[in-house]
Amino acid sequence: MAAFEYQALDLKGRQKKGVLEGDSARQIRQQLREKGWMPLEVSPSTAKQASTGFSLFNRGPSLSVSDRALLTRQLATLIGAGLPIDESLKALADQTERQKTKAMVLAIRAKVLEGYTLAKALEEYPRAFPLLFRSTVSAGEHSGNLAPVLIRLADYSERSHESAQNIRNAAIYPVLLTFVATALVIGLLTYVVPDIVEVFVKNGQELPGLTQAMLDASYFLSNYGIYLAAAIVLALVTFAQLMRQENFRSKVHHLILKTPFIGRFVRDVNTARFGNTLAILTSSGLPLVEAMRIASDVVLNLPINRSLSEATVRVSEGGSLHKSLQETRYFSPIMLHMIASGESSGELDSMLARTAEQQEKALESTVSGLVSIFEPVMLLFMGGVVALIVAAIMLPILELQQMVQ
């Protein structure tokens, strides 16, 4: 059986869309006619996705982290209850409201019915199920513990989503504050300062240095602001294009790592992501070397990624995990000590999970600290800028009063 997406007209002439399973498009049309509907279009869901223009490594529908976690948990519950994988996928598709998701689940079920493993069937949708997910599912299938592995995957996805959401929520206020403050300063320089200072210019009064500087800035923004904005947009577009080149991206990433404080934060984010991914893979039964290869792929910073690839080679040659990671010089001492303790006690999986959890909490604490520091600093900075503008306006007024006296 395969999944087919259809468009049809019901008895009242309303257009209906959906997904049905069948052996052929002809069978689907027959099912629609039996319901009294007129088939308009019937096409295999996999064929439709292949024509959407995605490349081999970027095709098919995608899933949000929360949606993927929900589907994974529901599938784990069904499989844990003793249902075969194909029946579990059928039940999952029946309760899914989104047509695209339903079509994807039914297409995966069709692959499973053809004899493919679940992990192999998931390869058809790399955007919805990334390499980490598929490799973990494969490990669960080989070990015979697919349901517990899926539950662990759902927990991991939910934790990652919650952590990312907390960071985004914490960054909303500072970003909004920066935008409003910048717009306020531009508005003052563009509209307020010229109108007030123009009175003194018409009277032939010599302007103080600060006022003249503000007037020059106002003139520049009024006459060349559009060009400045265009230059900034062009620079951002050029930078984005250059970041597609690996050599340039590697230099930028290396520079970021050398930047005080920011470099440490980026290092901690990437090492925590590596540790978290490695924990979920090894606890699912994947060999350590293979787990390290996959976990290295989720590290976005290129210098750290390359160092982890070298560490993977050292482990494959018989080296210990903590010493191989220590040679990268990116991991914190406490993380290395915990990994070393896990290796010596034979509890590496649980120690990796504990280390990853500790790293996540430390990162959330760091982000909260950054936000709490940024807010007063930003307020003080913008207050200082506004104070300078007010002073630039008040200085000629004070000088005029002194001349009158």
* Average confidence (pLDDT) over 199-222: 76
194 and 244 both lie in a single domain: yes
Angle at 365 between CA 362 and CA 371, to 5 degrees: 145
Give dist(CA 245, CA 238) in Å, integer. 12
199 and 344 both lie in a single domain: yes
Residue 20: give its domain's CATH number. Answer: 3.10.20
Query: 288 Cβ partners below 8 Å, 6+ apart?
Result: 282, 315, 321, 348
107 and 254 both lie in a single domain: no
Give dist(CA 160, CA 142) in Å, integer. 25
Whether residue 405 is predicted with pLDDT greater than 60 in this model: the reply is no
Confidence band, pLDDT 50/70/90 cuts, at residue 308: very high
**pTM given for the model:** 0.66
90 and 170 both lie in a single domain: no
For 7-11, 122-126, 298-302, 349-353, which range has the lowest pLDDT when averaged over its residues? 7-11
118 and 238 both lie in a single domain: no
180 and 316 both lie in a single domain: yes
The pLDDT, as a whole number, for residue 401 is 65
Query: 13 Cβ partners below 8 Å, 6+ apart?
Result: none
Confidence band, pLDDT 50/70/90 cuts, at residue 236: very high
Give dist(CA 229, CA 337) in Å, integer. 50
Let me know if residue 168 belongs to a domain.
yes
121 and 253 both lie in a single domain: no
Place of tokens 């690996």: 246
Give dist(CA 61, CA 46) in Å, integer. 10
Give dist(CA 64, CA 46) in Å, integer. 20
The pLDDT, as a whole number, for residue 3 is 66
- Extract the tokens encoding 342: 């896990």
Range of the domain at 39: 2-44
- What order of strands is seen across the sheet that includes strand 15-22? 15-22, 2-9, 38-44
Angle at 282 between CA 278 and CA 286, to 5 degrees: 115
3-class secondary-structure state, position 114: coil
Let me know if residue 57 belongs to a domain.
no
Q: What is the mean pLDDT of the chain?
A: 81
Highest mean pLDDT out of 12-21, 263-272, 369-378: 263-272
241 and 100 both lie in a single domain: no
The pLDDT, as a whole number, for residue 334 is 87
Distance, first Cα to last Cα, the chain: 97
pLDDT single digits (tens) 21-58 = 666 777 777 877 877 787 777 777 654 443 333 343 44
The pLDDT, as a whole number, for residue 235 is 95
Let me know if residue 293 belongs to a domain.
yes
Confidence band, pLDDT 50/70/90 cuts, at residue 327: very high
The pLDDT, as a whole number, for residue 249 is 92
Place of tokens 């982890």: 308
Confidence band, pLDDT 50/70/90 cuts, at residue 159: confident
Q: DSSP string spanning 46-90? A: HHHHHTS--BTTB-S----HHHHHHHHHHHHHHHHTT--HHHHHH
Let me know if residue 140 belongs to a domain.
no
* Average confidence (pLDDT) over 107-128: 86
More confident call, 83 vs 221: 83
Let me know if residue 136 belongs to a domain.
no
266 and 361 both lie in a single domain: yes
Residue 106: give its domain's CATH number. Answer: 1.20.81.30
Highest mean pLDDT out of 97-111, 216-230, 242-256, 334-348: 242-256
Q: Provide the number of structural domains found in the chain.
A: 3
Closest CA to 272 of 393, 186, 360, 209: 360
Q: DSSP string spanning 324-354? A: HHHTTT-S-HHHHHHHHHHHHHT-HHHHHHH
More confident call, 216 vs 312: 312
124 and 152 both lie in a single domain: no
Let me know if residue 142 belongs to a domain.
no
